Structures are given as C-alpha cells and as structure tokens.
Amino acid sequence: MEPIADEIERIQSCINDLIGVLAIPAAWAGRGSAQIVETLLNALMGMLRLDFAYAWLKDPSGESPLEVVRFAGSLDLPANPQEMGQLLRGWLGDDSQKWPPRVRNSIRNSDVSIAPIRLGLQDEIGVIVVGSRRDDFPGATERLVLNVAANQAVMGLQETWVLSAQKRVAKELDEKVAWQTRELTAANHELKKEITERSRVEENLRQSESFLLEAQRLSHTGCWKHDASSGTVTISPEVHRIFGIKPEENSLTAEFFFSRVHPADRPGEERKYARALSAKADFESDYPIVLPDGSIKHVHNTGHPV
C-alpha cells in the first residue's frame, strides 16, 4: 500500500502544480516579457523544488536577448544572467537545437540534473533551463509540468509581442497623424493668410478702380486696350460716353473706332496708327470724331505698346 499512497500523493502534487501553472497567465495581463519570465521562473522554483532556473528569450524587434536567472541558494553559481548563460552553453553546447533532454553535470562538487525546455517548435522564442540536485529529476510528472509551463509561456509571450507590435504601430500611426495634422494646420494657416492678403489686395484694387473710374468721369478721360493679335478693343465706361457707343455694342475693333473719325482725317490717322503698331512705338494724335447724331468732338488719343 505504501507505493500506491506515494503514487497518489505524487499525482495529486502534479495536478496541483499543473493547476498552479495554468493559473499563472492570469497575472500576466498587461505585463512585459521580463515580468512574464520572472513570474514563471519563481513559480517553477517553488513547485519543482529547483536549485536554479534560467531563461533566454529572443527579442522580436532585433534588440539584445533577455536573460533571467533564479537560484535557491544551495549552489555556488554566477548571479549574473549572462555569465550563467555562458556556463550553461559550456555544458550543453552552443546550438540549443542539439541540446539533450537531460544532462547530469558536476557543479562545485555537487551533481546537478539539468533539463532544457524549448520555447517554440524550433526554440524561435527562447529556452528555459532548470536544474536540481535530485538524481531522478526531471521525472515524468515534473517534465509534464515543465512542458505545460513552457506552452503557457509561449502563448503569453506571443500575446505580449503582438500587443507590443500593435501598440508600436498605433503609436507610429498616431505620430504620423499628428505630423500630418501639424502640416495641415500650418498649410491652413498659410492659406488663411494668403486669402486675407488676397482679399485686402482685391479690396484695394476695387477702391483703385472706383477712384480711377470716378477720375475718368470727372475729367472726361477714358482708357482703351487694343489686342493686336485678336483685333479686339477693350474700353472703359467713359470711352463709351466720348464715342457715343451704345451698351449693346460689345464687339469693338480698331476699324469701328476709325469709322467714327472724321472722313477727312481718317486715312491719315489709320496710317499713323499702323506705323506705331508695326514699330511697337508710342502713339499720340488729335483728330475730330463724328457721333451718330452728327455732332463732332475733338479727341486727344495716346497709347504705348506693352
């Protein structure tokens, strides 16, 4: 009956350890990789009565790997995780994929059973190495606990890495949106300044045009523009009054204005204007015009090429 009682006690202990391992992830919410590994190693040290537990984790962002070590104080081992890692690689070899499932080694005149546990199918996440001075370590139930703990660690670390990547992407997106918002705000500010300046210029232009039209009306002076390429003539309102042009007469040409020149002066004025147009020279002339009602006005006309 004693072996049966021992087996029942061992199974109950294993079940309790498994329940404890399965409960560990509840404390990992929002924690980083270092906190997850430290919590797991502390739990394994107590559950399996280990003499040491060591973890080596790769960094998904390409930074230096994370190393953590825990001791029970019964062995004289390096306290520095990096030194402990070098010591273990000296026992197990540099290629973690070729590590044996169990190694019995002597440390400071004490024989220690060392068991490496891969995190991931090809230890792409990292490894956990545990050690105990017990000769039968790790037993079947202890290896079961170690494997379950490794699986829990893999899921917790992968979730942490995914959340970290999402946070990094979200942060980059927020920074990009903030930068674009600043750029857009600056562009809108410049646009508002430009619109304000343009409105001011347009208002000044309207005032200038108003003053010019009023001055032309008072001085009976009008302005004109002859587009030599199209032959069209554009005039100010006062020219309409000077030449007696009706509002509906919009298609004005140089020939139209020469038709208003007194017949006796028309040929000479046409030749004079043609020479100025050909030479792109200033033009100035005095001549009489005959209005539709037969009245005559004397006009002084000037122009310069642009």
pLDDT at residue 225 in the model: 93
Q: What is the pLDDT of residue 78?
A: 75
Q: According to the model, what pLDDT value does residue 4 have?
A: 62
Task: Return the pLDDT at 118.
Answer: 83
What domains can you pick out in the chain, each with its CATH number?
2-164 (3.30.450.40), 216-303 (3.30.450.20)
Residue 69, judged by CB atoms within 10 A of its CB (0-12, 13-18, 19+), counts as buried
Cα torsion 176, 179, 181, 187 to 10°: value is -140
Report field, pTM of the whole predicted structure over 0.75: no
Burial state string for 249-280 with b = 16 or more CB within 10 A and e = fewer than 16: eeebebeebbebbeeebbeebeeebeebeeee
pLDDT for 17 equals 59
Which residue is associated with the tokens 């294993």? 14
In angstroms, what CA-CA distances link 191 with 179, 187, 206? 18, 6, 22
Position 295 scores a pLDDT of 93
Which segments in the chain show pLDDT lower than 50?
Answer: none
Sheet bearing 110-119, strands edge to edge: 66-71, 52-57, 126-132, 110-119, 103-107
Please choose, from the candidates 62, 60, 64, 55, the residue with its C-alpha nearest in 3D space to the C-alpha of residue 35.
Answer: 55
Q: Is the peptide bond before 288 cis (omega within 30 degrees of 0)?
A: no
**What's the number of CA atoms in the CB half-sphere (13 Å) around residue 9?**
6
What pLDDT is attached to residue 274?
92
Total residues found in the chain within this entry: 306
8 A C-beta contact, residue 54 and residue 81: yes
